[in-house]
Structure 1
Amino acid sequence: MAAAAAFSPWRRTPGRLIMGLALWLGALAAPAMAQPRPVDNPVFTVTNVPVDASAPNPLQAREKAQMEGVKRAFDILVRRLVAAEDIARITPPSDPELESIIKGFEFADERTAPGRYIALLSVVFRPDRISGMLRGAGIPFVDAASPPVLTIPVMRSTAGVVALDEKTPWREAWGNVAKAGGLVPTPLLRADATDLKAINPEQAFVGDMAALSRLAERYGAQRILVSVATGEPDGPFAVSGTVYDFTISDKLTLAPQSGVAIDKLIDAAVRQRTRLEEDWKAVATLSHDIADAVAVVVPLKDLAEWVNIRRRISAAVSVRRVQVQSLEEGRAIVVVNFVGTRAQLDKALEQRGLALVDSGGSLSIVTR
């Protein structure tokens, strides 16, 4: 195969990408052009809601756009946090109630005309108020983002695999998706000199575990998504993806997509990210009005294994505290405090490569 670095047929097509992005934004009402401020909880932040309002004067139009945009942002937030079957159980808040659950908002890309106001609105909601509202209604919800999934966009054609630092339409599409925020952060491979030394395009394409492990160590990533778009420069493309989970030494193959036009690449990336978010919601949607604790035995070979297992237990999304009762040769006895049901705890531990098993009348946490 020809050296990837020598192959660079991809030309930038901003018009096409902008058109695809605009369609995606209209469909999802959650554009991907800005990020929440670092001090704000990204789970409870909704960015870049498009608003377009008319009124007798620009000031009134702006106020109308703000209220309409906040309501749309609240709807987006609810769909992010709760299961689809529970959405109908949520009573839409009144205007005064909306004001009480908002921490702040910001307009961007403002445009005005006589009696009209157009902009993008980002809203930061108060996590405690939203959580209290959902708990009061007895609705399970997600209140924590997934650990980031390092994303490597790869483009490939009959001429070979494109260099990872090339500015391809696929990398640009994923860059916009990564900026959108949400439950599963998907930061892109920086593709700097250190990255390019750790992995080459062909290794990324085939999922070379040694090379991917080097990246996982560098980025502190538990999971890596290799997302591949295969086709000639003008498309259409076949899109595939594989998630490599280094916590449980497993991988997940995402559903393939075929016949993807170049101006629809962002939609394909959104579908892949949506699958990651659905998987996270299945684990992280918790019944917060339920809290419990279990005493468990953790079989151990040595101290290093204990440090690793305790870290994984503590990182499980439903676990709130791990109390060590005793640390003995060959085992640790701990009390695990958690929210949600026992089944939800089982799922959360499974996601960390652990299993809660009944061992002759006592519970044990073991590696899978």
Structure 2
Amino acid sequence: MKQVSRFAAVFVAALSLCATAFADPYRVKDLVVDKVAPSRAEAEQQGRAEARVVGAARLIERLTLPEDRANARSPIETAAVARLYRSSETQGEQKSTSVSGGVRATGLITWNFRADAVREYLDQRGIPYVDTQSALALIVPSTTGGDASAWGAQWAGKSDNTVLTPYVAASQAWTRRPNATEVQSEVQSVRADHGIVAELTQQGAQYYVRLIDLRPNVPKPEIAMAGPFVSLASAQTGAVAELERAWKVASIVRSTGSTGLSLVATFRDLQEWVKIKKSLEGSRLVSNLNIEALTTLGADISFTYAGRQDQLVSDLRSRGVDLANAGGAWQLRVVAAP
């Protein structure tokens, strides 16, 4: 009992030191303000309001799938969603210049929307949505016969922790598809969970991006083939959008009700236990989480989950945790590093 109590105390302390890689998916950044009005104040106010409507549209696209929006009980009104905001933040310098017709205000802005209000809005219209994020990934650009440096330049220095599939771009592009071992050191250095190869191919004037999960023992490593795209820039943004779409398809829950599950979580150290617990807590599918017993090597856990069993397995694996049935007993452990 003393061993269990001591471990639990250390665990609580460790949680306070563990920074999460997740951000708020209801936060929409890089919205353009560009408006001309009689005065600077009017131009800024109108420009921010227009950017908020654009942000609301991006948010709805982020959280939902086109087929679900088309089947909504009542149409989505972007202007109505735009009114469900919480706050805004300017990004960098906001400029104003005198032009014909008044003053032109330009800049970038971030709008933060109210999660509870947006969820209620979507629920009222019967639109399934996903607002939980996958584990942070290192995106590794590669090519098959193309210009690796040009493709790498599209990803250079880029990262985004507000999308449903948070990512950090790798520091170099490859002229072939790397394996998990070859990128593992950079995965660890940026504190990502795993690597994803963004493999560019060109057919005539069009580009395609094959997205490949580098985690070991993934049943289907190929996530998706994105494209066609007319430019490298659109291929980069399209690849991120396709990752989000694939995540939503795998995670979205259209069924009602829930299922109970009891299992044993096994781990080698405190760090692995923290990862297991945070993965369960971060999953939108999991509710009523109960840790029934805890030792230095394992835990008895019970919870209920929404959706299908394969969705739960996929959701937890995306967070670096493997849920498997061994001899009729469910077990949970951290996915082994390559």
Whether TM exceeds 0.5 here: the answer is yes
Structure 1: gaps (5+ residues): 1-37, 163-167, 192-199
1:50 aligns with 32
Say whether 1:70 aligns with 2:58.
no
1:106 aligns with 90
Distance 1:335 1:179 in 2: 33
Q: Secondary structure at the match of 2:127?
A: coil
Alignment of structure 1 residues 84-123 onto 2, 5 Å: 84-87=66-69, 88=72, 89=74, 91-92=76-77, 98-99=82-83, 101-106=85-90, 110-112=95-97, 113=99, 114-115=101-102, 117-119=104-106, 120-123=108-111
Percent of residue pairs bearing the same amino acid type: 17
Distance 1:146 1:180, change over 3 A: closer
**What letter matches 1:252 in structure 2?**
E
1:276-325 CA-to-partner distances (Å, cap 9, x unmatched) read: 111211233357x9674613234x8x753998589447515222464233
Q: Which stretch shows the higher mean deviation, 110-119 or 269-278?
A: 110-119
Distance 1:353 1:74, change over 3 A: same
Distance 1:278 1:91, change over 3 A: closer
Once the two structures are TM-superposed, the CA of residue 224 in structure 1 deviates from its matched residue by: 1.1
Runs of 4+ in 1 over 6 A off after TM superposition: none
**Root-mean-square deviation over aligned CA pairs:** 4.4
Alignment of structure 1 residues 99-248 onto 2, 5 Å: 99=83, 101-106=85-90, 110-112=95-97, 113=99, 114-115=101-102, 117-119=104-106, 120-154=108-142, 168-175=149-156, 178=159, 181-190=162-171, 201=174, 205-229=176-200, 239-246=208-215, 248=217
Distance 1:206 1:356, change over 3 A: closer
Say whether 1:252 aligns with 2:211.
no
Larger strand proportion of the pair: 2
1:211-231 CA-to-partner distances (Å, cap 9, x unmatched) read: 233433444433212334468
Distance 2:330 2:214 in 1: 23
Distance 1:358 1:247, change over 3 A: closer
**What letter matches 2:164 in structure 1?**
L
The two structures have a TM-score, normalised by structure 2, of 0.67
Distance 1:157 1:110 in 2: 43
Structure 2: gaps (5+ residues): 1-19
Distance 1:253 1:85, change over 3 A: closer
Q: Secondary structure at the match of 1:124?
A: strand
Alignment of structure 1 residues 316-355 onto 2, 5 Å: 317=283, 318-320=285-287, 322-326=289-293, 333-338=300-305, 340-343=306-309, 344-345=311-312, 347-349=314-316, 351=318, 354-355=322-323
